[in-house]
Amino acid sequence: MAEIEIGRHLYRFPGGLKLRHHKQIACRDPLTPAPLPERLWLPLVQHQGPAGECRVQPGDRVVGGQPLTRARSDREVPIHAPTSGVVEDLRDGPVSWPPGGTAPCLVLAPDGEDRFEALDTPDDWAAESPDALIERLRAGGLAGLGGAAFPTAAKLRGGFPPIRALILNGSECEPYISCDEMLMRSRPEAIVEGARILTRATGAEEVVIAIEDQMGEVRKRLNEAIRTVDPDAPIRVVQVTTVYPEGGEKQLIQVLTGLEVPHDGLPQDLGLVCLNVATAAAARDILFDGRPVIERIVTVSGPGIVHPRNLVVRLGTPIADLVAAAGGPTGDLDRLVLGGPMSGLPLASDRIPITKGSNCILALRPEDTARTQPVMPCINCGECIRVCPASLLPQMLYKHLVADDFDAAQALNLFDCIECGCCAHVCPSHIPLVDQYRHGKGVLRERGVEDARAARAKARFEAREERLAEREAERRRKREARERRLKDTGGAKSEVQAAIERARARKDAGDGEDDG
């Protein structure tokens, strides 16, 4: 694989928008823990993939850190008790997706003692094999904490080509969201230690931590942490220009390398793995402290909240409790959104709990939302195409989807849409484009299209692996043949040499006889 330069030069991805970031309003106060709620609601699935096997039942007493489910494959991610208490129930509770939907949740009543039992940790993590490290991360419930909640073990252990570099994504480019910035300011050492663990787990030769150019002292803190933790570690901090949505995995890779992750492909195809900075810190907590993923930082912000701030929140905490912990809503709150104003999901209920992928709760007033604007017909202005970072045809996708022509939308690469919301943001007709894309993807997923897509990508990887293995075997065969030839030639030489020496000896002996 050709050598890829990462972050030495910066490139641009297509489309995108320059937005006001509104981040500082939630960064004025230091990070504070959110109070424990009366009940924690823990969806069995908090990641992209199937649920693990449930290991508790109503009435069980649990301690913090105790596994509540067990993963039977890398696609499953266990959940753990965020605190000590009693499992009261296993029943459907509200979740953020699909809108108004429910999913099976364990209901945990905290006992107020907050007892915790650490997972087993290695004496020397650096002596563990990559597979053993990945196993520990899986057992600790690690999923991408940037928002997508993809199972980390599946990302790290994919049978891919060798991983050359690890990119830690700290460029949370969506307005208002500042949980990663707060983490990088408050726990930079944890990120660097996590980066070292993930380097060993992936075999990566270097790590690039990507941050935004408007993140003030974050760069300095990360560089200090690198010097403190391991000045020789191949870890660099790179600042990228704040353009939305450069925090998207494919967009960030393009900015740092100039390369496009192929359609239907993965960053691993380029020898890269991209993880969120919070995922790296959580990897450190699992390996060093035996602390599984039971909490995360959540930004609670927006013009509809009294005291915007970042809180350390136990998973399962209902959103209503966080809104209260941030001073409550302003009088004119119109809508709560999970995520940022561009790609976030409007919430049907404030009883929805925080899960591993919940990075921000945004409170918006009527004037902050486009909902008040009437939806007009498409005027084919092409603005949505201009800003699409995935080089799609948003208006055509929309047209097919409203006509229920899901196959046509899929043929236009609907699954390449990262739901960034740029198209809807600039649409002069206020068409809710992204809602339609989410709906279309949901329908196609139910039809198993994405599984087929993943299977195609996997088959391609395997074919590539096979080709590489064949090439390597051919090289080895040639090398061995060459070595054999050399050996044979060397052997022949020594025989010739021996014959010469024998002849000399005979001659010497004959000469003696003549002399006598």
> What is the contact surface with ligand SF4 in residues (CB under 6 A)?
378-384, 387-390, 392, 394-395, 417-423, 426-429, 431, 433-434, 437
Residues 6+ positions from 327 with CB-CB distance below 8 Å: 305, 306, 307
* Exposure b/e, 186-200, CB count within 10 A at least 16 = b: ebbbbbbbbbbbbbb
Instruction: Tell me how far CA of residue 268 lies from CA of 159, 165, 273, 468, in angstroms.
Output: 10, 10, 6, 15
Minimum Å gap between C-beta 148 and ligand SF4 is 14
- At position 229, the amino acid (one-letter code) is V
Query: Do 376 and 1 meet the contact criterion of CB atoms below 8 Å apart?
Result: no
Cα separation, 241 vs 9, in Å, equals 12
Nearest to 424 by CA among 257, 226, 245: 245
Report the residue number, 48 or 330, with the smaller CB distance to ligand SF4: 48
Minimum Å gap between C-beta 349 and ligand SF4 is 25
Mode of pairing for the β-strands spanning 102-110 and 85-94: antiparallel
Minimum Å gap between C-beta 424 and ligand SF4 is 7
- Number of CB atoms found within 10 A of residue 168's CB: 29
Report the residue number, 223 or 413, with the smaller CB distance to ligand SF4: 413
Report the residue number, 294 or 423, with the smaller CB distance to ligand SF4: 423
Report the residue number, 10 or 378, with the smaller CB distance to ligand SF4: 378
- The CA angle 265-269-271, to the nearest 5 degrees, is 150
Report the residue number, 223 or 429, with the smaller CB distance to ligand SF4: 429
Minimum Å gap between C-beta 389 and ligand SF4 is 6
Instruction: Tell me how far CA of residue 174 lies from CA of 45, 177, 196, 313, 436, in angstroms.
Output: 25, 6, 27, 21, 21
Report the residue number, 323 or 418, with the smaller CB distance to ligand SF4: 418
Minimum Å gap between C-beta 395 and ligand SF4 is 4
Query: Do 249 and 420 meet the contact criterion of CB atoms below 8 Å apart?
Result: no
Query: Do 65 and 94 meet the contact criterion of CB atoms below 8 Å apart?
Result: no
Minimum Å gap between C-beta 385 and ligand SF4 is 7
Report the residue number, 225 or 414, with the smaller CB distance to ligand SF4: 414
Minimum Å gap between C-beta 274 and ligand SF4 is 17
